A and B are shown apart, each in its own frame.
Chain A
């Protein structure tokens, strides 16, 4: 993990943007007229397959907007977003939804699980949406995150850490090329946070998934390969 600080553009391993996630010169403005705010200002970011990157920064600095653009939830005003060499900014809304389903694994705050579904059904639901195999078995993935014994429990019956583990398993159903983690430890205590981030880092490396974690929790950064700091829409590598 590098500790040196350098200004954006901060392309890590710029020679091989066909690997992992690559954002090049991405800018995004939100709001209208006088309320217009540049939330991403010529951002460059490359997270190769298997790398675990963290983005820290104060609230409102643009971290979630960066995650939204990286996950094809929103389109940047300018710049390029590529996943394993494929440009995402030219995709239609439908194509981007399909891309998110098959190539992106989202892990949200508190897991953001569907309240009516059991842990196993959370995974089956994603498999169904992604038109995965009919005989899909969620148990190996739940086993991998230590949640097989809670497969038949609904989110309301799980603790915060357990919900987040199920959320991680759900994000891995389609074997995504990139994992985007939005404050995955926001609702967890320190011990659970280390456990969850450790699990995420391990899965990312084992499965060769480019992973970006947005976090406020500086205690988790020692488990990351590379750290970026976001300030007023500008991304800086630390």
Chain B
């Protein structure tokens, strides 16, 4: 550290420039991490909050938008209920709808039809549990659109009126749209095209002959290992684990892949830029390193010193960049899908430092190849 610290102080300008680049990369990693988390939350927070182990879609359903594309029958639900290791299997309906609130505000909702007595019935942070035929439990984030308990949402085109009776615990969105949980029978009424204008009644439900839903939600027994392939074969379905099913959320795969690619490039750039800097730095120090080696400085000492210097530079300026990134993140507009989460930011910081260090180490290794003989004059 003796030499590393003194060189950092001596070449303040050069190291500050390099540090500024590292800090900017760290700012970008925080912003991208926030965007990534925000988009994931906007895309699948509703699915993530469900106590579901896997979803079974109708056999052969295309992955993209599979939740609204798939149609399953009650027999398929029953088949899954009988599979070994399945604690519960229940039908769930899913459809994207446009609606208008009492005050004329236009909102988009992902209507999830769930059996109010099943494990899919959402926990509420405010209001009543799902149950009433015309009642909706909506995402907490709908409050931003002025939705309150008692707000009536009128579904566009069919004019069916459903009343908000509760809010979920935290954000529950799907495909960047707020989720509105409705009783499965009410969802089936709408899906069958038999929902009346105005509020649906129990009588409307009783007269419905429609046994379809979108997917089968599966909950495994504790510690059970479920043979999904066998279940699929028996029920004519294509099942996906909860995390795999995220890709069936509209746009989820395209968004996450795009952001992941940008992040990968950013980390690669970090490694390359830091590597290039230390490569030039090592070349500039060639003569002094030759002198130190001629004096007898062990290569290991010089390598350790160089790596310590790079690690210090990376840690200090990554920390500064992350601080600045957090500040910028806090100032992001409310409408932007942005979420600052400790885990992803810590991973982004660790990757910035690690890959920067890899680049630096590859360059610093050059020290071992510097011939101490070059410290002597050019008269050999």
Q: What does the 1/0 interface line of B120-147 toward A look like (CB < 8 Å)?
A: 0000000000000000000000000000
CB-contacts of A100-157 with B (<8 A): 100-102, 104, 106, 108-109, 112, 114-117, 121, 124-126, 128-130, 154
Contact check, A108 vs B379: say whether CB atoms are below 8 A apart. no
Interchain nearest-CB distance for A17 vs B (Å): 23
- The reply to whether A114 and B373 contact each other, CB–CB distance below 8 Å, is no
Q: How far is the CB of A166 from chain B (nearest CB, A)?
A: 13
**B379 and A97 form a contact (CB under 8 A):** no
Q: How far is the CA of A63 from the CA of B380 in the complex (A)?
A: 6
State the majority secondary structure of interface residues on A. Answer: mixed
B372 contacts chain A at the CB level, 8 A cutoff: yes
**How far is it, in angstroms, between the C-alpha of A214 and the C-alpha of B376 when the chains are bound?**
11
User: Does B327 have its Cβ within 8 Å of any Cβ on chain A?
Assistant: no
The answer to whether B295 touches A106, judged by C-beta atoms less than 8 angstroms apart, is yes
User: Which parts of A41-78 form the interface with B (CB within 8 Å)?
Assistant: 59-60, 62-65, 67-68, 71, 73-74
Chain A residue with the shortest CB-CB distance to B287: A112
Task: Decide yes or no whether B102 CB sits under 8 A from chain A.
Answer: no
Instruction: For B380, list chain A residues within 8 Å (CB).
Output: 30, 39, 60, 62-65, 68
CB within 8 Å for A97 and B292 given contacts A114-B3, A116-B3: no
Task: Say whether B376 contacts A129, CB under 8 Å.
Answer: no
Q: Given A108-B291, A116-B6, do A94 and B377 touch, yes or no (CB 8 Å)?
A: no
Give the chain A neighbours of B176 by CB distance below 8 A: none
Whether a CB of chain B sits under 8 angstroms from the CB of A199 is no
In the bound complex, do residue A128 and residue B296 qualify as a contact, i.e. CB atoms below 8 Å apart? Answer: no
Distance in angstroms from A220 CB to nearest chain B CB is 15
The answer, among B6, B10, B11, B297, for a CB contact under 8 Å with A129, is B297
List residues 249-298 of chain B with CB under 8 A from any CB of chain A.
287-288, 291-298
In the complex with contacts A112-B291, A112-B375, A104-B3 CB distance below 8 A: no
A101 to B7, CA, bound (A): 22
When distances are taken between beta carbons in the complex, the residues of chain A under 8 Å from B10 are 115-116, 154
Alpha-carbon distance A112/B2, docked complex (angstroms) = 18
- Interface size range of chain A in the complex: 35 or more
Query: Is A192 part of the contact surface with B, judged by Cβ < 8 Å?
Result: no
Indicate if A98 sits at the interface (CB-CB under 8 A).
yes
Interface residue count on the B side (C-beta < 8 Å): 26
Which residues in B have their C-beta under 8 angstroms from that of A126? 295
Residue of A nearest to B297 (CB): A129
CA distance A17 to B372 in the complex (A): 27
CA distance A199 to B54 in the complex (A): 85
Q: Is A84 an interface residue (CB 8 A)?
A: no
With A73-B372, A114-B3, A129-B297 known as contacts, the answer to whether A214 contacts B379 (CB < 8 A) is yes
Closest B residue to A59 by CB, please name it. Answer: B379
Distance to closest chain B CB from A174 (angstroms): 9
B-side contacts of A101, CB under 8 Å = 295-297
Complex Cα–Cα for A186 and B297 (A)? 25
In angstroms, Cα B372 to Cα A71, docked, is 11
Choice from B11, B298, B299 contacting A116 with Cβ under 8 Å? B11
Least CB distance, A75 to chain B, in whole angstroms = 12
List residues of chain A with CB within 8 A of the CB of B295: 100-101, 106, 126, 129
B289 to chain A, nearest CB (A): 9
> A163 → chain B, closest Cβ, in Å?
12
Which chain A residue lies CB-closest to B7?
Answer: A116
Whether B377 contacts A114 by the Cβ 8 Å rule is no
Residues from chain B with a CB closer than 8 A to the CB of A117 are: 3, 6
What's the least CB distance linking A224 to chain B, in Å? 18
A161 to B11, CA, bound (A): 25
Contact A114 B291 (CB under 8 A): yes
**B292 to A, closest residue via Cβ:** A114
Contacts of B11 in A (CB 8 A): 116
* 14 extra interface residue pairs, beta carbon distance < 8 Å, beyond A97-B296, A129-B297: A59-B379, A60-B379, A63-B380, A64-B377, A71-B294, A74-B373, A98-B296, A104-B296, A108-B294, A108-B376, A115-B288, A116-B10, A182-B377, A186-B377
Binding site for A on B (CB under 8 A): 2-3, 6-7, 9-11, 287-288, 291-299, 301, 372-373, 375-377, 379-380
Q: Which 3 A-B pairs have the closest CB atoms?
A: A101-B296, A116-B10, A100-B296
Q: What are some 16 contacts across the A-B interface (CB < 8 A)?
A: A39-B380, A60-B379, A68-B376, A98-B296, A106-B295, A112-B287, A112-B375, A114-B288, A114-B291, A114-B292, A116-B10, A125-B2, A129-B292, A129-B296, A182-B377, A214-B377
